[in-house]
Amino acid sequence: MAQEHVVLLDEDGYNVGTTPKATVHHGETPLHLAFSSYLVDDAGRVLLTRRALSKATFPGVWTNSCCGHPADGESMADAVRRRVKDELGLDVGQVELILPRFRYVAEQDGIVENEMCPVFRARAYGEVARDPAEVEDARWVTWPELLGMLDDPRLSTWCRLQLQQLSELGEHPDDWPVGDPAQLPPAATP
């Protein structure tokens, strides 16, 4: 299996190279490209996941449906589909950009996340079949339930920051307007 790499970025979001994912996260993690996704089912619920306890970064925290890193030259939508299938065993419909310019820095136990991390919404199909190396637990929650966790320290920093922004876009994920792809970091538009 080929070693997974992440796309390194400058402050303007341009690709400045790649580095192995296995070595990128540490106390001085360089800025890199990632994504977050929120999966919605036909009942309008959002999938909340708990990161595997064995993960090097933010083990055991609850977070949005799926996060990941696109490969160099891979479209963001394809990266979302790939990681959702790998981590959760789900197929997704149309992948829609919601927050094109989301960026954050977070630290836990000396490990820093430093990402330009566009946020996407997608409709999920099928039954969750989680990869235990990636996902400890998963559960469908209503949007009001998820918003009720906004101040819960068990929820990832990036998810809490995203929820603050997403809550301003509409009362339900289906109401969120689609973001402008021209606002994506340049490295996210191969």
Catalytic annotation present for 171: no
Residues paired with residue 111 on neighbouring β-strands, in sequence order = 108
- Tokens describing residue 18: 């790649």
Catalytic annotation present for 117: no
CA distances from 166 to 122, 149, 175 (A): 14, 14, 10
Q: Of 96, 113, 115, 134, which residue is the catalytic one?
A: 115
Q: Of 66, 67, 117, 159, which residue is the catalytic one?
A: 67
If you compute the radius of gyration of the chain from its CA atoms, what whole number of angstroms results?
15
Rounded to 5 degrees, φ, ψ at 66 are -155, 140
CA distance 15 to 5: 13
Catalytic residue list: 67, 115
